[in-house]
Structure 1
Amino acid sequence: MTDRDELTLADEIVARARIHAREVVADDRLPVDLGAVEWAVSSRARRRAGCCRWDADRDVATIVLARRAYERYDWPAFAGIVRHELVHAWEFQRFGESGHGDRFRERAAALEAPRHCEAFAEPRYVLRCRATGCDWQANRHRASKPVKSPDRYRCGDCGGVYEVEHVESGRTWTDASGYGGAKAALGEKW
């Protein structure tokens, strides 16, 4: 075997996912047409452990699994992610759409698949409601609009204003100028 012939980690992930998918389909727990499922691995994904994309023109579902999640989770947890994405593939194949509603919840529960996957990476930012008595918060991995301009948004629970924390440095801000100031002050550490 030459260096070019060696299997990569992505090959391993796809091989294990395909084997697991065949096991799930073989015992009639989920009638997915695996012939209409393609597999891919993302080395860039930081938030999502997996996703399922539907190509309606070809009637093909592509399940994309995150390499970082595979490295972080043990196999039983990662296999749950594979089952989660297979439920999406089944919904797309059968209904042309997929979400996390009642139909998904029922199938995922039957497969002992998580409805939502645990985060496998630490967030870069945390949004928090500043209102007294409200403990709402959300993790963010990218500088989304609410991260850059938290003063333009309100808490969905109580209507309070947000504060954003840059997790690594502990710096916080409540408006766009605070975001710019924190980014400038941190420089390369941003």
Structure 2
Amino acid sequence: MTDGERLTIDDEILARARIHARGVSREYDLEVDLGALEWSVSARAKRRAGACRWNTRREVATIVLTRRAYERYEWEEFAAVVRHELVHAWEFQQFGESGHGSRFREKAATLDAPRHCRSFAEPRYVLRCLETDCEWTATRHRASKPVTSPGRYWCGCCGGTYEVEHADSGRTWTTSSGYGGAKSALGEEW
């Protein structure tokens, strides 16, 4: 390192992830071409701890790891995220596609990688079915259309109506005008 240069947390994340990937590749005989794998860190992601993107034209997988997850997880849990994304990279390199189906689950189990990673951020909105015999709920981090216009969508379980709750304030709404009213009423607290 030269004068004026210093390692950042992103450098630390990438270094630890690459070292872990080499170890996993050797220990589990994972047929992933680490030389054809790119790495990056996201400072913006709020829900997912990692992602693996496939560039079909270049036939290169890019593993994107989330800084906030690294800061919130212990290393063992974050290392499991790296293994999860390595399974996606392996699938992309071997089959040109990846998902969370049976092939993924089988390979992930051999690497002790979770099928889904724990959320590291609290949701901003909670969707809750209004039907008395249904206990369906869902969470959202962004003001998507089901959040801003709940009257146009239905419960994911029974098909009934649902309400949206702003998690921090407890305000609820069932229509797009209700969303606008809650947002306006909360002002700076939104």
Q: Shorter-chain-normalised TM-score: which range?
A: over 0.9
Per the TM alignment, residue 160 of structure 1 is displaced from its structure 2 partner at its CA by 1.1
Distance in 2 between residues matched to 1:58 and 1:81, nearest whole Å: 24
Partners of 1:106 and 1:122 in 2: how far apart?
30
Instruction: Work out the number of aligned pairs and report it.
Output: 190
- TM alignment of 1:1-190, pairs within 5 A: 4-190=4-190
In 1, the alpha carbon distance for the partners of 2:34 and 2:177 equals 51
SS of aligned partner of 1:41: strand
Structure 1 unaligned segments of length 5 or more: list them: none
Return the alpha-carbon distance in structure 1 between the equivalents of residues 146 and 82 of structure 2. Answer: 31
CA distance in 2, matches of 1:153, 1:128: 12
User: After superposition, what is the alpha-carbon deviation per residue over 1:22-80, rounded to whole angstroms, capped at 9, x for unaligned?
Assistant: 00101244211000110000011000000000001111100000000000000000000
Q: State the superposition RMSD in angstroms.
A: 1.1
Distance in 2 (CA, whole Å) between partners of 1:43 and 1:7 is 16
Distance (whole Å) between structure 2 residues aligned to residue 2 and residue 44 of structure 1: 29
Matched to 2:148, the amino acid is K
Indicate how the Cα distance of structure 1 residues 29 and 126 shifts in structure 2: closer, same or farther if over 3 A, else same.
farther
Judged with a 3 Å threshold, the aligned counterparts in structure 2 of structure 1 residues 135 and 26 are, in CA distance, closer, same or farther, namely same
The normalised TM-score by structure 1 is 0.97
Please list the CA deviations of residues 100-119 of structure 1 after superposition, one character each: whole Å capped at 9, or x if unmatched. 00100111111111100111
- What stretches of structure 2 of length at least 5 have no aligned partner? none
> Percent same amino acid among aligned pairs?
73
TM-score under structure 2 normalisation? 0.97
In 2, distance between residues paired with 1:166 and 1:100?
A: 30
The 4+ residue runs of structure 1 with deviation greater than 3 A are: 1-4
* Distance of 2:151 and 2:29 partners within structure 1: 47
1:117-148 Cα deviation digits (max 9, x unpaired)? 11100011011111112111111100001000
